[in-house]
């Protein structure tokens, strides 16, 4: 289950919710068109605090996600043919991977702060998008840092299938 799960919705806004110490599955989960997850806080949530599956035209912005370490607990998850999504002004600390994308295209990620122990701050998996490759990803003006001052690296890792990717003006420990 989820704290909020809306499937196939149109013009859905999930805003200003606070979720603390849950063991449920996905915490805030949307699919459909024009979905928006705005100014929510999830601390010690279950799996995948903020999830978009097959959202066309959406915004994930101004959210705070802290200490979400359950199984497959990526801070922001955008999978299964999401398209035209803005990821902005989010703060993610101590999640498996702050933002993951899969089989989707048309992302603009900007002004986020993603803090990791060490490893992927942003990760893109393969899969096809409507018979073609995923892509059209713009990642700019983000802060992606490792909290491990000795051995830590924060980096962006996108599968080789991604096309039309632009990464610019970020503060990052490393890019792969």
Average pLDDT over residues 73-102: 95
CA angle 27, 137, 72 (to 5 degrees): 30
> What are the structure tokens assigned to 5, written together?
């799960």
pLDDT computed for residue 175 by the predictor: 47
Q: Running DSSP on this structure, what letter comes out for residue 132?
A: B
Asked if pLDDT for residue 25 goes beyond 80, the answer is no
Mean of per-residue pLDDT scores for the chain:
89
> What are the structure tokens assigned to 126, written together?
């393969």
CA distance readout (Å), 39 to 59, 120, 149: 11, 24, 29
pLDDT computed for residue 47 by the predictor: 81
pLDDT computed for residue 83 by the predictor: 96
Q: How far apart are CA 37 and CA 4, in angstroms?
A: 11
Contact 26, 6 (CB under 8 A): no
> What are the structure tokens assigned to 143, written together?
């802060």
pLDDT computed for residue 172 by the predictor: 85
Average pLDDT over residues 38-51: 92
> What's the pLDDT tens digit per position in 50-86?
999 999 999 999 999 999 988 788 999 999 999 999 9
User: Rounded to two decimals, what is the model's pTM?
Assistant: 0.93
Most confident of 38-47, 106-115, 129-138, 148-157: 106-115
Contact 114, 99 (CB under 8 A): yes
**Burial track 1-26 (b if 16+ CB lie within 10 A, e otherwise):** ebbebeeebeebebeebebeebeebb
Asked if pLDDT for residue 150 goes beyond 60, the answer is no
Closest among 123, 78, 86 to 104, alpha carbons compared? 78
pLDDT computed for residue 128 by the predictor: 80
Q: Running DSSP on this structure, what letter comes out for residue 75?
A: S
Q: How confident is the model at residue 161 (pLDDT cuts 50, 70, 90)?
A: confident
Q: How far apart are CA 50 and CA 24, in angstroms?
A: 13
């Amino acid at each position: 289950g989820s704290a909020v799960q809306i499937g196939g919705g149109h013009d859905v806004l999930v805003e200003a919710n606070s979720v603390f110490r849950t063991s449920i599955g996905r915490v805030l989960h949307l699919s459909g068109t024009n979905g928006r997850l705005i100014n929510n806080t999830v601390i010690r949530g279950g799996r995948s605090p903020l999830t978009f599956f097959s959202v066309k035209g959406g915004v994930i912005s101004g959210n705070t996600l802290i200490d979400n370490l359950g199984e497959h607990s990526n801070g922001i998850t955008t999978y299964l043919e999401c398209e035209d999504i803005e990821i902005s002004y989010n703060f993610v600390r101590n999640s498996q991977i702050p933002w993951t994308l899969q089989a989707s295209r048309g992302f603009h990620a900007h002004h986020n702060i993603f803090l990791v122990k060490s490893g992927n701050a942003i990760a893109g998996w393969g899969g096809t998008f409507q018979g073609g490759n995923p892509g059209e990803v713009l990642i700019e003006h983000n802060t992606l840092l490792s909290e491990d001052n000795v051995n830590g690296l924060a980096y962006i890792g996108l599968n080789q299938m991604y096309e039309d990717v632009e990464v610019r003006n970020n503060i990052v420990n490393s890019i792969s």
